[in-house]
Homo-oligomer: A and B are copies of this chain.
Amino acid sequence: MGRWEPDALGRLQRAAMDLYTERGFEQTTVAEIAARAGLTERTFFRHFADKREVLFAGSASLQELLVSTLANVPPSAAPIDAVAAALAAAGDLLGQRRDYSRARQAVIDKNPELRERELIKLASLAAALADTLRLRGVQDPVASLTAEAGIAVFKVAFDSWIDASNERGLTQLIHDSLDQLKAITGGAL
């Protein structure tokens, strides 16, 4: 094992995002990311499997937060309200990093392979929410449908939040988006 590097993970993430933004994801090498961070390639590979994973390193902890929050909502809550509580927790976490999230999304939007990876991540979040609802005793198809609807709400809220003209916080936008879905399915919109 190499020596300990202070905040190596954060330095690598910032260096990678700067390079992806400046010259594009495809045109950036791991060697360049490590050099920009003042670290070795070996240190890079202790933290990330490849340059793509720098952009998706937060997915696992986001999924854990969604699942653990959903699992801990009181059993009396309706499935959609339990999912809304989990999404709000995710909104509170991600909402602290708007500049990073914007830069990341701009990189992802430019690359088909990264857009696919992002879709897979969202599908995996929906599957994890559905599994957790089933553990709460919610039957299918309600479990799947509530999870898919929750991810739709999250996705639309996230896109609004990334939009430079939007000044509302992510958690508030998730709340708005769920209210809009209720109005849409209720025939009011």
Contact = CB atoms under 8 A, between A and B. Distances in A.
B181 A149 contact: yes
Nearest to A173: B141
Contacts of A13: none
Nearest to A144: B156
Interface string A145-189: 110110111011101100000000000000001101110111101
Contacts of A182: 185-186
Copies of this chain present in the complex amount to 2
Interface stretch (A26-34, A52-60, A77-85, A88-96): A77-85
A116 B119 CA distance: 8
Contact of A80 (B119, B145, B185): B185
A4 to B, nearest CB: 36
Interface residues of A, number: 33
A142 interface: yes
Contact of A181 (B155, B156, B178, B185): B185
Interface of A: 78-81, 116, 119-120, 123, 141-142, 144-146, 148-149, 151-153, 155-157, 159-160, 177-178, 180-182, 184-187, 189
A155 B148 contact: yes
Given A79-B189, A149-B149, 19 more contacts: A78-B187, A80-B184, A80-B185, A80-B187, A116-B116, A116-B119, A141-B156, A141-B159, A141-B180, A142-B180, A144-B159, A145-B177, A145-B181, A145-B184, A146-B189, A149-B184, A151-B152, A182-B185, A182-B186
